[in-house]
Structure 1
Amino acid sequence: MDSLADSKTHPDEIDIDTRLAGELLADQFSHWAQMTLAPVVSAGTVNAIYRLGDVMTVRLPPSVG
């Protein structure tokens, strides 16, 4: 799965996909930009979660507040 957009639960959610997560990572943490980035399937609705490499995760809030 490349996108977590199919799991929207709030009307104001931003579409977050692997491409966007990778671009944000490259802009803010360029030294980690070449690491593998993969979406994590979760029942949570507060963050879109991506695995970064083998030991880290990236959490992105899909909505404000």
Structure 2
Amino acid sequence: MASLGMLSLASGRAACGKRWEGLETSVRASQHLKAYIYQSLPVMVMVVVVVVVVVVVVVVA
């Protein structure tokens, strides 16, 4: 799957040239965003767990 994407990226770069660079930059930015989301995912999960525990304690009490 990844190799297919790289192949289409290479052929697209050859075909489009200059206009492709802007798209490549946006793709790179979205990859950085994905990496940031994956890194901060454990923190978000912990926050959600804490909120759920607090809600359960308040409801039970």
Report which of the two has the higher share of strand.
1
TM surpasses 0.5 = no
TM-score computed with the length of structure 2 as normaliser: 0.30
TM-score computed with the length of structure 1 as normaliser: 0.28
